[in-house]
Amino acid sequence: MTEVSRRRMFAFAGAGVALAGAGAAGAGIDRALDSSNASAATDVVPFTGAHQAGIVTPAQENLHFAALDVTTKDRAELVSLLKTWTDAARKMTAGQEVGPAGAVNGAKAAPPSDTGEALELPASALTLTIGFGPSLFDDRFGLAAHRPDALTELPAFPKDKLDPARSGGDLCIQACANDPQVAVHAVRNLVRLGFGKAEVRWSQLGFGRSSSTSTTQSTPRNLFGFKDGTNNLKAEDTGVLDEQVWVSAADGKPWLAGGSYLVARRIRMHIETWDRTSLDEQEKVIGRTKGNGAALGQTAEFDPVDLQVGGADGEPMVPEDSHIRLAAAESLNGVKILRRGYNFVDGSDGVGHLEAGLFFICFNRDPGKQYIPMQKALSSKDAMMEYVQHTGSALFAVPPGVSETGYWGDTLFEA
């Protein structure tokens, strides 16, 4: 029984991929039998490297983000979990089942070593990125001396309305993929492997990546309907990434060299209010035209922003309280961040509106010098604050990439 998988038509450019349900029993490991297919091969993002994947990887379409609390108090158990997770992540990012005793070849008397819902699906550019929250560096695991100074809870910002149940966490897992089922499968299997050692504190799904992270990608739109992240850092800006994203050994804690800091902010958007606002007001709030995304005063999306250009009334075309002005590097002593957020709709809010917004994720080398001053400026001056509310918040130190023989966090736990 050979069939074209449902997702192949969408997940691959141009390649119908034949699957053999019965034959899969013989193959055992690879979820999609023909992963040697050229399309399938390009669908795999390498797991190992100097930096973790999922940061400068071209942003995939779908996100499942989970924050976990560690429930074991045993350091050895935590290290064992991180090794188990690393092994599972190597397999899942390669498009394989978590273990050899999954749905296909599992022993009937035991639970399968893979939950199965990603069988027949390709790797879908899955990346798994892990981070360590400030709370992991308390006295439970002997890590206090290794906590970087920059890894503290974010300060309270004006108009924050944070829900503790959507904030914080000892660990985070960012799963990005071009198929939501693959991202969900990955987080679910890591959570499953953590049973008795860690549990989910909160989790967030996202879609329609709200940033591009490579010059090969066009700029997507957020739920305000605007192109978002035109001037985002890109994977190709390697020099700037070294300066703005990657932690260096000289920054303080050598275990974090090659890593970064991940800021997560769940930003509820009051889209109903926004939708009743004039196009002129919307464009002034953002600082760009809605149609093609050009900065106000410019013609095309990628025309350089000119914060000085004045309109007929002598006022700057890009208003003083517009989002792009306040977030611009030239307003912030040259600092930039790598944005990698996703749109979300989490049902409704109970009072007649969609619970919609942006799950903001950014990576930066030093949140104290980058994200925090940027958000201080935005939260106090940004005209957009009338239409948004920050409802969740977390900061994680993202360790460097994993070697072929290493495990997530080895530079910390072997330090």
Query: Phi and psi (nearest 5°) for 262?
Result: -105, 120
Name which position in 3, 74, 315, 414 contacts a copy of itself (CB under 8 A): 3
Residues 98-127 that bind a copy of itself (CB under 8 A): 103-112, 114-120
Fill in the DSSP letter of residue 100: S
Q: How far is the CB of 280 from a copy of itself (least distance, A)?
A: 4
Q: Does 140 bind a copy of itself (CB under 8 A)?
A: no
- Is residue 327 within 8 A of residue 231, CB to CB? The reply is no
Amino acid (one-letter) located at 259: G
CB atoms within 10 A of CB 106: 17
In order, the DSSP letters of 113-141 are SS--TTTT---TT-EEEEEE-GGGGSTTT
Q: Which is nearer to a copy of itself, 61 or 410 (CB)?
A: 61
Which one of 252-260, 299-307, 360-368, 383-391 is the stretch in contact with a copy of itself (CB under 8 A)? 299-307
Which one of 136-144, 242-250, 295-303, 329-337 is the stretch in contact with a copy of itself (CB under 8 A)? 295-303
Name which position in 140, 221, 376, 381 contacts a copy of itself (CB under 8 A): 221
Which one of 16-24, 136-144, 148-156, 377-385 is the stretch in contact with a copy of itself (CB under 8 A)? 16-24
H helix runs in 245-389, sequence order: 271-275, 279-286, 323-327, 371-381
- Please give the C-alpha separations between residue 5 and each of 9, 126, 321, in angstroms, as whole numbers: 7, 18, 49
Residues 178-217 that bind a copy of itself (CB under 8 A): 178-181, 184, 187-188, 191-192, 195, 199-205, 207-209, 212, 217
Q: Does 393 bind a copy of itself (CB under 8 A)?
A: no
Q: Which is nearer to a copy of itself, 360 or 371 (CB)?
A: 360
Q: Does 5 bind a copy of itself (CB under 8 A)?
A: yes
In order, the DSSP letters of 142-171 are T-GGG--TT-SPPPP-TT----GGGS--SE
Q: Which is nearer to a copy of itself, 129 or 282 (CB)?
A: 282
Element at 26 (helix H, strand E) = helix 24-27
Name which position in 45, 92, 271, 317 contacts a copy of itself (CB under 8 A): 271
Q: How far is the CB of 278 from a copy of itself (least distance, A)?
A: 5
In three-state secondary structure terms, 341 is: coil
- 50 Cβ contact partners less than 8 Å away, ≥ 6 residues apart: 258, 400, 401
Q: Which is nearer to a copy of itself, 107 or 250 (CB)?
A: 107
Q: Which is nearer to a copy of itself, 84 or 331 (CB)?
A: 84
> Distance between the two ends of the chain, CA-based, in angstroms?
52
Residues 334-353 that bind a copy of itself (CB under 8 A): 343, 345-348, 350, 352-353
